[in-house]
Structures are given as structure tokens and as C-alpha cells.
């Protein structure tokens, strides 16, 4: 009603003006005498006035799409540089490690021994196949190649001299040699790592590892953006466009040309210049300090201009539609005015009805003002109630986190107290070595408590850490060690059925021990309700889907209600002093975060059966960097 009042007030004013100026019966005459204004000429003039608005629209669209493209390419550039550095770092320390192999040192000690040379060739070939390096070869102090992993190939390095390469001179000087270039024998690009082989303080040889970087080009794929990696000379060494390879992006000095001739890093001694139109590309570059390379992404500007033209076309079409709508509105307005003129005889009656309606509207307006005031007051009360709910939510979250920390630290604190009491007894009996061992265990437990606190803090803010490859048996042994004293005091028989081979799973080192400790502690809690004999079974199996760990006890088992609500926080069948009901909920959340699953069931022969399903990890190799919970 309030929204309609200005329009009605305007209509009333127009009616009053019409009544005051037009006598009855003269409306038809005045209507016919009105001149016809050229409406479409006005629309064309308005279109000319509004057309310059397309220019700022084009600028805004160009700025937006340019920033979007630059942001996307920056992320792609960071990922490519990280992948390139990861490939290089994988082989960086390999020459230093392989230099200590007795089979290679025997060849350096007696280069004329064909048996030792054949043994070294076979050894380097096996290592090359295992590590994925393209070529690994051993050089004498004079630069001659004594053994190589490609000894049986047509382009074998054995017998060739590479003393002119800078990686050889750097390695002979005691430094880690680095070099990217085209192989003079194989005519294949590669990155070379070289390290000296020492006998005391004397360099007796150089071991070189060549890494194939062709795969890094194929990873780029077929996209409008182009990859460009240049070395310290500004020459393209890696690119997604084969026509740009080994082209110079800047003029080379005479010193640089002489160095190229000396070390022969490219298939040509005078790289041709690469002529790129700076106006046709959006370039982003990242410098790699350790290699001296510059990695660039070149995006064609057509990726920006094409959507900009689309936006401008849409803007122009929108302007045209607006003009058409204005024309239609003007036409309808003219018809409306003509109809008003034909209805001039009814204006007096309409005036009376409008005055009556105006009085009604004024009364309604007063009531609406009162309702608006009441609504504003109610809204203020609502905001106050919302603030109180937010504060209550903060207090609830604080209580949940405090209860979680208390629950997770109970087990390490109990173990610390037990080890401290044992250390006091051992010191009384002058058994200092055993007491020192207990103190070391206490130190490890305090470190674990710090890790648990850091993990709970990270868990509260929903951090996501990539799983790593963790050995299951050592983690299980640590959890059992924390509960060993309690298990012996309860006279619980432990029955283990674990494979002799180490089972590797994808998990977090701290989070896996946290889950195992909670589940074993809950099993001991269940056994307190049962008389002897008390038994605890632990078994594991490895199948195609992953690794399953089974924890079973001969306690009372789960009730139906416990099976339905075991994953819910603060649900517990214990007394208030025995537990808070957070252990199984935390374990279930941690397992799902690790990509695993925690299952609850009752064993057919009685007691509870817990099953941990985990993904298989690589044997002895971390799939991801270990989680850091100290931050």
C-alpha cells in the first residue's frame, strides 16, 4: 500500500491540474490540437548518447577476463614448476650415494680389469632401470667413461670423453655438477647431476646421472597456452611448441656464444632468435634459482579478446532492446494520454472517489507506520537473541574441545605416571640404566601428548593432511605398550595373529596411534565388566581392497542402542567418571579423514568386534610428506 501511494498522489495532482485547466467538453478539442512529436528521432538521439557506455563496459570486461586468465595460468605455472623440481630432486643425491658402491670403486682402481668393468656396467644398468634414470655412467679423472648403464646400446658412453662438459669440472672441484644439454652421443636432451668419487681427500673419479625431461613437455597437453623454459643464456630448452625449441629469446653476447661452442649444450652453435609478438601474448614467468632457468606461460590474447567481444555484443544488444522497450513505452504512454483525454467527462466523479480513497489511505498509512515501528523493535530483539545463540555456540564448541583434549591425554598421562613410579623404584635399587630407559619413554610420551594436542587443534579447524605410508605393526606395538601395565593388572590374555611381513597402510603416524590406543583402551574397559578369563584378540589380513585390522574381546559386546549411536559424540554406556563418549566418535572421524572405515559389530562367539579398513601403503616409502602437527 505504501509503495502505491506516490503513484496515486501523482495521479491526483494530474487530475487536479486537468480539472483546473480544461473545462468540460473541451478535452476533445485540446487533444486533437496537440502536435505529434517525432518519438523515434528522440530514441535515436538517446541511443547515440548511451553508445559511449559500451567503452567502459569493454574496459571492465577486458580487466576481468585478463585477471581471470592470469590467475589460472599462475596456478598452472606453479604446478608445473613444482613437478619439474620434484623430478630433479629425485635424482639430485643419487650420484653421491652411488659413488660409495664397491663395484664402481673397483673399476676406478683398476680400469683395465674387464671383469670389474663388466660388473660395473651391469650394476649401473640395474640401478638405472630401478630409479628410472636415463643413463648413469662412471668417468675417470681424465674424463674417459669407464662404465655406463647403456654399455650394450649402439650409443654407449663407454670409452667416450666428456671432460669438456661443465658438470665434470664442477664435480672434480668437489662440487655437485649440474648441467642441461643435448647429448653429443645420444642426441637426446637431459639434465646431468655429477658428483666426485673420493678416496680420502683424493678425487678418483666422477659419477654422472642423466635425467630425461621429455616427459615434462608431454604433460602440458594441447592447450592454447604455450610452455616456455629458458636457461641462463635465454635459449628455449623445454617447450610445448616444438618449433620454439633451442631458439634464443634474446641476443647472445660473444662470450655466451663462445661458451656454447665449448660445452655444446644445443644442437646448434648459434641458436636462431625466437621472434614473438609481445602484443599477441600474455606472459607470466617464474625463475628457478637452483637451475638458473626461467619458466614462462604464454597465453594468446585472443583468449581475452574473444569473451570481451561477446560481452560488448551482449551490451550492444541489451542497449538495442532497451531502446525498443523505451519506444514501446512511449507509444503506450501516448495511447494512455489519448484515453485520459477521452475520459475527461468522468474526472469530477473520479476526483470525489480519489479524495475518499485518499482519506482511507492516510488512515492506513498511519497504521502501517505503527506496524513498522513494532517490527523494528521485534527485529532488534531478534538480533539480541541471535547474539546470545552465537555466544552459546562458542561455549559449546569450547566445552567439546576441552572434553576431547582430556579424553585423548588420559592414556599418555597414565603411562607417564606408571613409568615415573617405576623409575623411582629403580633408582632406589640403583638400577640407573633401567630408570634412564623409563625417563626416555616419558620423554617420548610427552612428545606424543604434544602431537595429540596439536592434532586436536588442527582437527578443530578441520585441517586436511595428506596420508603417508605407515607401518601398522610398530604403531600397534606402541599402543599396546601404553596399556601393558593395565592389561597385566587386569590379567587379560593377549592373542596376536599378525603376518610376519610388515603391513604398510596409508594413514597419519600420530592419528593411527591415536585410533589404536582409543580402541584398545575401550576393549579393556569392556573387559572390566567380565570376570576371568579375559581375552583380547588382535589379527590382520591383507587383501585386494587394502588392509583389515580386527580387534576382538570376550566382554559383554555392544547393545543394539550402542551399535546405532556408537559414532555419535558424548554417547556412552559408561558412568560419568568412566568416560565422556568421545573415543569412538573421534576414531570414526579420523578413519574417514584417512580414507578408511571403522566398523562395529558383535562376534558370533560373544564379545565386541571392531574392524579397521585401511588403504594399502607403499612399502617403506612415504607417499606424501609426513604430516606436521606442530604448527
**Which of these, 508, 566, 516, lies nearest to 538 by C-alpha position?**
516
Q: What is the pLDDT of residue 624?
A: 41
Q: What is the pLDDT of residue 403?
A: 54
Is the pLDDT assigned to residue 474 strictly greater than 90?
no
215-229, 514-528, 547-561, 605-619: lowest mean pLDDT where? 215-229
pLDDT in tens, 615-625: 988 887 544 44
Q: What is the pLDDT of residue 551?
A: 93
202-216, 351-365, 505-519: lowest mean pLDDT where? 505-519
Q: Residue 242 — pLDDT band, cuts 50, 70, 90? A: confident
Confirm if 569 and 580 have CB atoms less than 8 A apart.
no
DSSP 247: -
Q: What is the pLDDT of residue 466?
A: 66
Is the pLDDT assigned to residue 584 strictly greater than 50?
yes
Q: What angle do CA 220, 222, 225 make, to 5 degrees?
A: 75
Q: What angle do CA 172, 192, 225 make, to 5 degrees?
A: 150
Higher pLDDT, 24 or 192: 192
Q: Which three cell numbers stand for residue 106?
A: 673397483
Q: What is the pLDDT of residue 393?
A: 41
Pairing of strands 504-507, 468-471: antiparallel
Q: What is the pLDDT of residue 445?
A: 84
Most confident of 576-580, 583-587, 599-603: 599-603
β-bridge partners, 105? none
CA distance 481 to 517: 10
In terms of CATH architecture, what is 465-614? Answer: 2-Layer Sandwich (3.30)
Q: What is the pLDDT of residue 623?
A: 40
Q: Residue 430 — pLDDT band, cuts 50, 70, 90? A: confident
Q: Residue 576 — pLDDT band, cuts 50, 70, 90? A: very low
Q: Tell me the backbone φ, ψ of residue 485, rounded to 5 degrees.
A: -65, -45
**Which of these, 122, 295, 155, 285, lies nearest to 213 by C-alpha position?**
295
Confirm if 20 and 12 have CB atoms less than 8 A apart.
no
Which whole number is the average pLDDT over 58-66? 82
Q: What is the pLDDT of residue 382?
A: 73
| Stretch (H or E) spanning 581 | none
Q: What is the pLDDT of residue 6?
A: 46
Confirm if 619 and 472 have CB atoms less than 8 A apart.
no
Which whole number is the average pLDDT over 411-415? 80
Is the pLDDT assigned to residue 537 strictly greater than 90?
yes
Q: What is the pLDDT of residue 18?
A: 46
Is the pLDDT assigned to residue 630 strictly greater than 50?
no
Please state, rounded to an integer, the average pLDDT across all residues of the chain: 79
Which whole number is the average pLDDT over 359-387? 84
pLDDT in tens, 7-42: 444 444 544 444 344 444 444 444 444 445 556 676
Is the pLDDT assigned to residue 460 strictly greater than 50?
no
Q: Residue 574 — pLDDT band, cuts 50, 70, 90? A: low
Flag whether the pTM goes above 0.75. Answer: no
CA distance 531 to 284: 73
Most confident of 8-17, 39-48, 170-179, 407-416: 170-179
Q: Residue 259 — pLDDT band, cuts 50, 70, 90? A: confident
Confirm if 308 and 62 have CB atoms less than 8 A apart.
yes
Which whole number is the average pLDDT over 305-309? 84
Q: Residue 135 — pLDDT band, cuts 50, 70, 90? A: very high
Confirm if 143 and 121 have CB atoms less than 8 A apart.
no
Q: What is the pLDDT of residue 463?
A: 41
Q: What is the pLDDT of residue 385?
A: 66
Sheet with 281-288, side-by-side order of all strands = 236-239, 226-230, 293-300, 281-288
Q: Exposure string (b/e) for 45-72, b if CB count within 10 Å is 16 or more? A: eeeeeeeeebeebbeebbeebbeebeee
Domain boundary assignment for the chain:
93-212, 465-614
**Which of these, 61, 141, 136, 138, lies nearest to 105 by C-alpha position?**
138
Q: What is the CATH number assigned to the segment(s) 93-212? A: 3.30.450.20
Is the pLDDT assigned to residue 540 strictly greater than 50?
yes
Q: How far from each other are the two terminal CA atoms of the chain, in whole angstroms?
A: 59
- Look at residue 154 and give its three-state secondary structure: coil
Q: What is the pLDDT of residue 481?
A: 77
Which whole number is the average pLDDT over 235-242? 83
Higher pLDDT, 530 or 580: 530
Higher pLDDT, 597 or 559: 597
Is the pLDDT assigned to residue 381 strictly greater than 80?
yes
| Stretch (H or E) spanning 155 | none
Which whole number is the average pLDDT over 392-418? 63
CA distance 415 to 485: 8
Residue 378 burial (CB count, 10 A)? 9
Q: What is the pLDDT of residue 122?
A: 92
Q: What is the pLDDT of residue 119?
A: 92
Higher pLDDT, 24 or 356: 356
Q: Which three cell numbers stand for residue 313?
A: 555484443
CA distance 628 to 580: 28
Peptide bond into 550 cis (omega under 30): no
Higher pLDDT, 5 or 357: 357
Q: Residue 571 — pLDDT band, cuts 50, 70, 90? A: low
Is the pLDDT assigned to residue 2 strictly greater than 50?
no
Amino acid at each position: 500500500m505504501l509503495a502505491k501511494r506516490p503513484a496515486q498522489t501523482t495521479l491526483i495532482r494530474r487530475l487536479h491540474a486537468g480539472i483546473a485547466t480544461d473545462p468540460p467538453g473541451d478535452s476533445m478539442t485540446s487533444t486533437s490540437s496537440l502536435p505529434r512529436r517525432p518519438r523515434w528521432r528522440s530514441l535515436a538521439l538517446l541511443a547515440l548518447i548511451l553508445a559511449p557506455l559500451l567503452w567502459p563496459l569493454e574496459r571492465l570486461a577486458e580487466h576481468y577476463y585478463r585477471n581471470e586468465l592470469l590467475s589460472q595460468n599462475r596456478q598452472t605455472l606453479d604446478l608445473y614448476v613444482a613437478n619439474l623440481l620434484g623430478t630433479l630432486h629425485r635424482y639430485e643425491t643419487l650420484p653421491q650415494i652411488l659413488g660409495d658402491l664397491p663395484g664402481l670403486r673397483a673399476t676406478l682402481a683398476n680400469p683395465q680389469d674387464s671383469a670389474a668393468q663388466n660388473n660395473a656396467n651391469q650394476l649401473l644398468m640395474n640401478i638405472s632401470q630401478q630409479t628410472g634414470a636415463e643413463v648413469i655412467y662412471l668417468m675417470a679423472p681424465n674424463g674417459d667413461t669407464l662404465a655406463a648403464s647403456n654399455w650394450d646400446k649402439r650409443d654407449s658412453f663407454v670409452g667416450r670423453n666428456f671432460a669438456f662438459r661443465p658438470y665434470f669440472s664442477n664435480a672434480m672441484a668437489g662440487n655437485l655438477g649440474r648441467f642441461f644439454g643435448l647429448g653429443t652421443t645420444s642426441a637426446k636432451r637431459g639434465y646431468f647431476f655429477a658428483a666426485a668419487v673420493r678416496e680420502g681427500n683424493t678425487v678418483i673419479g666422477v659419477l654422472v646421472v642423466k635425467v630425461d625431461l621429455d616427459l615434462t613437455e608431454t604433460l602440458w597437453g594441447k592447450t592454447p597456452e604455450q610452455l616456455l623454459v629458458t636457461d641462463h643464456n635465454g635459449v628455449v630448452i623445454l617447450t610445448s611448441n616444438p618449433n620454439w625449441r633451442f631458439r634464443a629469446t634474446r641476443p647472445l653476447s660473444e662470450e655466451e656464444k663462445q661458451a656454447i661452442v665449448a660445452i655444446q649444450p644445443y644442437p646448434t652453435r648459434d641458436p636462431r632468435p625466437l621472434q614473438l609478438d609481445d602484443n599477441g601474448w600474455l606472459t607470466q614467468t617464474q625463475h628457478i634459482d637452483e637451475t638458473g632457468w626461467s619458466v614462462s606461460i604464454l597465453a594468446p590474447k585472443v583468449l581475452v579478446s574473444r569473451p570481451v567481444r561477446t560481452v560488448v555484443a551482449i551490451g550492444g544488444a541489451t542497449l538495442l532492446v532497451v531502446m525498443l522497450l523505451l519506444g514501446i513505452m512511449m507509444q503506450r504512454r501516448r495511447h494512455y494520454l489519448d484515453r485520459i483525454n477521452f475520459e475527461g467527462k468522468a474526472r469530477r466523479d473520479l476526483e470525489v472517489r480519489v479524495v475518499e480513497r485518499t482519506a482511507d489511505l492516510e488512515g492506513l498509512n498511519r497504521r502501517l507506520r505503527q506496524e513498522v515501528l513494532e517490527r523494528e523493535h521485534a527485529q532488534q530483539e531478534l538480533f539480541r537473541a541471535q547474539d546470545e545463540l552465537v555466544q552459546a555456540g562458542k561455549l559449546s564448541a569450547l566445552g567439546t574441545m576441552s572434553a576431547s583434549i582430556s579424553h585423548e591425554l588420559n592414556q599418555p598421562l597414565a603411562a607417564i605416571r606408571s613409568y615415573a613410579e617405576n623409575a623411582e623404584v629403580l633408582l632406589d635399587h640403583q638400577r640407573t640404566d633401567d630408570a634412564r630407559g623409563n625417563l626416555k619413554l616419558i620423554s617420548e610420551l610427552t612428545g606424543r601428548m604434544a602431537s595429540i594436542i596439536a592434532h586436536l587443534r588442527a582437527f578443530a579447524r578441520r585441517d586436511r593432511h595428506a596420508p603417508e605410508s605407515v607401518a601398522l605393526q610398530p604403531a600397534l606395538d606402541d599402543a599396546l605398550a601404553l596399556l601393558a601395565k593395565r592389561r597385566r593388572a587386569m590379567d587379560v590374555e593377549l592373542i596376536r595373529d599378525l603376518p610376519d611381513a610388515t603391513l604398510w597402510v596409508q594413514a597419519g603416524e600420530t592419528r593411527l596411534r591415536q585410533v589404536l590406543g582409543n580402541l584398545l583402551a575401550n576393549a579393556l574397559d569392556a573387559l572390566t565388566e567380565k570376570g576371568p578369563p579375559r581375552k583380547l584378540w588382535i589379527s590382520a589380513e591383507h587383501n585386494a581392497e587394502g588392509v583389515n585390522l580386527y580387534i576382538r574381546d570376550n566382554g559383554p559386546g555392544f547393545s543394539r542402542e550402542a551399535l546405532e549411536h556408537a559414532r555419535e559424540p558424548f554417547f556412552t554406556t559408561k558412568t560419568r567418571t568412566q568416560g565422556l563418549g568421545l573415543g569412538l566418535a573421534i576414531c570414526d572421524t579420523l578413519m574417514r579423514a584417512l580414507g578408511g572405515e571403522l566398523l562395529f559389530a558383535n562376534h558370533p562367539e560373544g564379545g565386541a568386534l571392531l574392524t579397521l579398513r585401511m588403504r594399502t601403503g607403499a612399502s617403506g616409502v612415504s607417499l606424501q610428506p609426513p604430516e606436521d602437527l606442530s604448527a
